[in-house]
Amino acid sequence: MNYWGIWAIYRHEMERTFRTVGQSIASPVISTVLYFIVFGTAIGSRISDVDGVQYGAFIIPGLIMLTILGQSISNASFGIYFPRFTGTIYEILSAPLSFVEICIGYVGAAATKSLMIGLIVLITANFFVTFYIQHPFWMMFFLIMTCVTFSLLGFIIGIWADGFEKLQLIPLLIINPLTFLGGSFYSINMLPGIWQKISLLNPVVYLVSGFRWSFYENSDVSITTSVVMITVFMFLCLAIIAWIFKTGFRLKN
Amino acid sequence: MTSAISVQNLHKTYDNGFKALDDVSLDVERGEIVALLGPNGAGKTTLISTICGIVNATSGKIDVFGYDNQKDYRKARSCIGLVPQELTTDAFETVWHTVSFSRHLFGKSSKPEYIESLLKSLSLWDKKDNQIRMLSGGMKRRVMIAKALSHEPDILFLDEPTAGVDVELRKSMWQLVRKLRETGVTIILTTHYLEEAEEMADRIGVINNGKMIVIEDKKKLMKKLGKKELVLELYSPISEIPEALSGFDLHLKQDGHQIIFTYDPAKQDNGVVRLLDQLKAHSVKCKDFNTRQSTLEEIFVQLIGEK
């Protein structure tokens, strides 16, 4: 195992984050705080409780998910796409690093950054609404698994994209709608029957549901299903990345 | 003894169908300097990139110090340092950080005293805390070399190292290459400057359209393919070459004041003595003469033109 190599990539990526702290950390935190003010405090005060939880508190898990999904994807996709764009990727590809090590470096840094943002948002939420966490271990489990899995997805997007437009395409056209329709702001039980069934095709539903369960012990789908879904998704992403490095897709061809 | 690099029947066709390498074979011995020449798009950079692991080969085998560059990629790549053609560095990093980053990528722990001596040898020490974007083009080129040498490689690839650099820097690069060779580093460089290949290399390979046209010891190559010219300065100009001398490869120059005779120096009977006798017989008097060996550039143009 090339530990020095992994550490070099990880540190390089984290230093880039701290060099642009306003854009990297402050911006997503401010956006989320605005969601809390608008949906939690202003509009939320006129909405009745959902599954026995005050609306402002109900949306906290969803909002955190919304933020870390977007951040994980954009951090990881930009992290690998930028060296491809500038040509500095040659150094990574010519180094004695396996795909697993490259992945740990880039995805680890992207996931760390998302996790930091998620925790900062959680702490910030405390200033606006009162909430509680029933299962802190599972809360951290879902938070970390989501950060890692969606950073893996972002890594794939960063390799697939051959332009800045494509880099934004999947997050904007697929991930954002799935996240908004994944129960961040509502329980899918509030939807008409057919839409409830359609919603179950949305993988984000399982993440939000499981994460919300760790806070308030109420969920749209069972906790086991949520854990299985996120684990399956993570291994699917790993398999795609292994294939990319094996075939050299967009990197070595 | 195992070669530093052994390339056998290497083929590379890109996804867009472009055949960049067509059955290339090459052996590079330890400690030698090999220059790869070829026009733009000939396949030089693809060959280097494939050996370094940046590009996947379509077929063929590459060994680095006996290590297969696919199966034993860690060992193979650890031996290699690469200076790419483009100045691709992270503009906001400092010189010290970027060189240390490269060393760590190759699995080596920090060694500040080595990085210090490396930066000093490349006249970069006083710039170590500068961001790379603040450096001149020549300095950036040196940073690229420092990055490639940061993990103390046994083989160094220099892909057009002196493209776009001034004469002074080019000369200092040549010095550096010689110094590296003295320490036992094997060097493979690609260049458009034939003068550079002539000056630096032990062996020269010529690539065109993805094929290795020739790879030969520099002196042997120049002897084998090089022509020699005998330049005869005449006492009085002549308007045309006498008919009796039509069997010689002669050209009139300088308004009839010069006769140029091109001959093959490797031949036992190269024709020089016979020509001089014939000139005397036809009362063509010479006041001076000199000979000139073909340059590598002329050999290169000849090779590329033939294929």
| Digit-coded pLDDT (tens) for B228-280 | 788 889 888 888 888 888 888 888 888 888 888 888 776 778 888 888 888 88
Q: Which of A4, A12, A253 sits opposite B107 (nearest CB)?
A: A4
Mean pLDDT of A215-239: 88
B56 touches chain A (CB under 8 A): yes
More confident residue, B46 or A54: B46
Cβ neighbours of B14 in A, within 8 Å: 253
pTM for the whole structure: 0.81
Distances (CA, A) of B167 to A135, B164, B193: 69, 9, 12
The pairing of beta strand B250-253 with beta strand B19-28: unpaired
B173's tokens: 């690069």
Mean pLDDT of B274-296: 82
Cβ neighbours of B79 in A, within 8 Å: none
Closest C-alpha to A70, from A180, A221, A220: A180
pLDDT of residue A203: 84
Quick one: chain A helix, strand, coil %, rounded to 5? 80, 0, 20
Q: Where are the domains of chain B?
A: 5-223, 228-293
Question: A90 and B82 in contact by Cβ < 8 A?
Answer: yes
Q: What percent of chain A has pLDDT over 90?
A: 28
Gap from A138 CA to chain B (nearest CA, Å):
35
Which tens digits make up the pLDDT trace of B63-116? 999 999 888 999 999 999 999 888 777 888 899 999 999 999 999 988 899 999
A250 touches chain B (CB under 8 A): no
Cβ neighbours of B86 in A, within 8 Å: 87
Gap from A78 CA to chain B (nearest CA, Å):
14
Residue B187: enclosing H or E segment and its boundaries?
strand B186-191
Question: B14 and A248 in contact by Cβ < 8 A?
Answer: no
Residue A56 CB neighbours (<10 A)? 21
Residue A212: enclosing H or E segment and its boundaries?
helix A203-216
A64's tokens: 């955190």
Gap from B101 CA to chain A (nearest CA, Å):
6
Residue B177 pLDDT grade (very low, low, confident, very high; cuts 50, 70, 90): confident
Question: B54 and A94 in contact by Cβ < 8 A?
Answer: yes
CA dihedral sign, ordered A109, A114, A117, A122: negative
A48 touches chain B (CB under 8 A): no
> What 3 state SS string does B249-301 have?
CEEEEHHHCEEEEEECCCCCCCCHHHHHHHHHHCCCCEEEEEEEECCHHHHHH
Residue B234: enclosing H or E segment and its boundaries?
strand B228-234
Closest C-alpha to A224, from A232, A216, A234, A215: A232
More confident residue, B19 or B87: B19
Residue A106 pLDDT grade (very low, low, confident, very high; cuts 50, 70, 90): very high
Q: What is the CATH number of domain B228-293?
A: 3.30.70
Domain range enclosing A90? 3-246
Give the residue from A94, A100, A101, A102 with the most B CB atoms within 10 Å of its CB, the best one to mutate.
Answer: A94
Cβ neighbours of A93 in B, within 8 Å: 52-54
Question: B56 and A253 in contact by Cβ < 8 A?
Answer: yes
Question: A96 and B75 in contact by Cβ < 8 A?
Answer: yes
Quick one: chain B helix, strand, coil %, rounded to 5? 35, 30, 35
Give the residue from B19, B105, B145 with the most A CB atoms within 10 Å of its CB, the best one to mutate.
Answer: B105
pLDDT of residue A9: 94
**Residue B298 burial (CB < 10 Å; 0-12/13-18/19+)?**
middle
Gap from B194 CA to chain A (nearest CA, Å):
27
Question: B84 and A90 in contact by Cβ < 8 A?
Answer: yes
Residue A252 pLDDT grade (very low, low, confident, very high; cuts 50, 70, 90): low
**Residue A220 burial (CB < 10 Å; 0-12/13-18/19+)?**
buried
Mean pLDDT of B34-55: 88
Which tens digits make up the pLDDT trace of B117-129? 888 888 888 998 9
> How many structural domains comprise chain A?
1
Q: Is the pLDDT confidence value at A225 over 70? A: yes
In a domain, A252, yes or no: no
Q: Is the pLDDT confidence value at B305 over 70? A: no
Q: Which of A86, A93, A97 sits opposite B54 (nearest CB)?
A: A93
Q: What percent of chain B has pLDDT over 70?
A: 93
Question: A5 and B107 in contact by Cβ < 8 A?
Answer: yes
Q: Which of A7, A96, A253 sits opposite B106 (nearest CB)?
A: A96
B82 touches chain A (CB under 8 A): yes
Residue A14: alpha-carbon gap to chain centroid: 17
Residue B306 pLDDT grade (very low, low, confident, very high; cuts 50, 70, 90): low
In a domain, A165, yes or no: yes
Q: Is the pLDDT confidence value at B295 over 70? A: no
Which CATH superfamily is B5-223 part of? P-loop containing nucleotide triphosphate hydrolases (3.40.50.300)
In a domain, A251, yes or no: no
Q: How many CB pairs under 8 A join A and B?
A: 71
Residue A219: enclosing H or E segment and its boundaries?
none
Q: Which of B49, B54, B73 sits opposite A96 (nearest CB)?
A: B73
Mean pLDDT of A229-237: 90
Q: Which of B14, B54, B104 sits opposite A90 (nearest CB)?
A: B54
Q: Which of A7, A87, A247 sits opposite B104 (nearest CB)?
A: A7
Residues B174 and B180 sit within 8 Å (Cβ to Cβ):
no
Cβ neighbours of B106 in A, within 8 Å: 4-5, 95-96
Question: B53 and A94 in contact by Cβ < 8 A?
Answer: yes
State how far the Cα of A209 lies from the Cα of A214, in Å rounded to an integer. 9
Distances (CA, A) of B252 to A210, B73, B230, B258: 92, 59, 12, 6
Q: Is the pLDDT confidence value at B307 over 60? A: no
